[in-house]
Amino acid sequence: MLQSGAAGGRGCALCPLLGVLFFQGVYIVLSLEIKADAHVWGYVGENIKLKCTFKSTSSITDKLTIDWTYRPPSSSRTESIFHYQSFQYPTTVGTFRDRISWVGDVYKGDASISIINPTIKDNGTFSCAVKNPPDVYHNIPGTELTVTEWGFGTMLSSVALLSILVFIPSAVVGVLLLVRMGRKSAGLKKRSKPGSKKSSIEVSADTDQEKDDRMAKLCVCCAECLVVSDHDRNRVQLRDFSNDASKGRG
C-alpha cells in the first residue's frame, strides 16, 4: 500500500512538469509562422514575384536561413532553387539557373523571390522554408504557379478593361453635365411661368442682373452728360468767339 501511494504521489508530481513541457513545445512550434500565396498567375516573359513572409519571436541574426524549393507538376521530386544566409545564393544549375532574383528583406519579415523570364515549363509548386534559431519549427507553405502565354483573348480582355477604365469616367462626367443642364433648363422654364415663385438662388441671380442693368444705364447717362457738356462748352466757346469778332469790327 505504501509503495502504491508513493508511486501515485510521484505521478501527481510529474503532471505539472509534463504540462509545462507540453505548453513549451506548443509555444516553440508556433513561435515561427510563414505565409505565402496559395496561387500565383503570370505570363510568359513577364517577371513573377513569389511572395513569402514570416514572423519570428526571436531577433534576426546571421543564423537565419531561407530555402526555396520547386516541385514539377505530377512529381514528387523537389529541386533547390534559392538559399539565403546573410547573402543570397540563387541556384547555378537546372532550369532556374540565373533566373531567380532576391526581392525580400529579412528585417521586415520578407522572404520573397522573383522568377525572371518565366516559361510554361516553370509551372509547379514552390515552397518557402525559414529558420531563425532557436525558432526552427514552422509550417512550410506551398505556392502553385501557373504561367500562360499571351493570346488574342488575353489581349482582348486587356483592351476591354482599358476601354472600361476610360469610358466610365467620361460617362460620369457626361451624366453630370446633362443633369446640370436639365436643372438649368427647368429653372428657366419655371421662371418664365407667370405667377411662379422664385428660389433664393434665382432671386439672387435676378438681383445681380438688375444691378448690372442699373450700372449699364448709369454709364450711358454719364456718357450722355459728358457729350452734352462738351456740346454746351463748344457752344459757349463759339458764342464768345463771335462776340470778340463783333467787338473787333466795331
Q: Please write the tens of the pLDDT for every residue from 113-171.
A: 999 999 999 999 999 999 999 998 778 999 999 999 987 555 555 555 555 666 676 67
Residues 59 and 156 in one domain: no
How many other C-beta atoms lie within 10 A of the C-beta of residue 221?
10
Alpha helices in 133-199 (DSSP H): 152-192
Residues of the chain predicted below pLDDT 70? 1-30, 152-167, 169-170, 172-173, 176, 180, 183-250
Q: Give residue 150's pLDDT.
A: 84
Residues recorded for the chain: 250
Q: Give residue 103's pLDDT.
A: 97
Q: Give residue 75's pLDDT.
A: 87
Q: Give residue 71's pLDDT.
A: 97
In a domain, 17, yes or no: no
Q: Give residue 181's pLDDT.
A: 72
Residues 34 and 135 in one domain: yes
Question: Domain residues for 162?
Answer: 150-180
Q: Give residue 27's pLDDT.
A: 41
In a domain, 212, yes or no: no
Residues 50 and 83 in one domain: yes
The residues facing 189 across adjacent strands are none
How many other C-beta atoms lie within 10 A of the C-beta of residue 197?
9
Q: Are strands 32-36 and 52-56 parallel, antiparallel or unpaired?
A: antiparallel
- Domain end, chosen from 97, 128, 148, is at 148
- Asked if 79 contacts 70 with a C-beta cutoff of 8 angstroms, the reply is yes
Q: Using DSSP, state whether 36 is helix, strand or coil.
A: strand
How many other C-beta atoms lie within 10 A of the C-beta of residue 118?
20
In a domain, 86, yes or no: yes
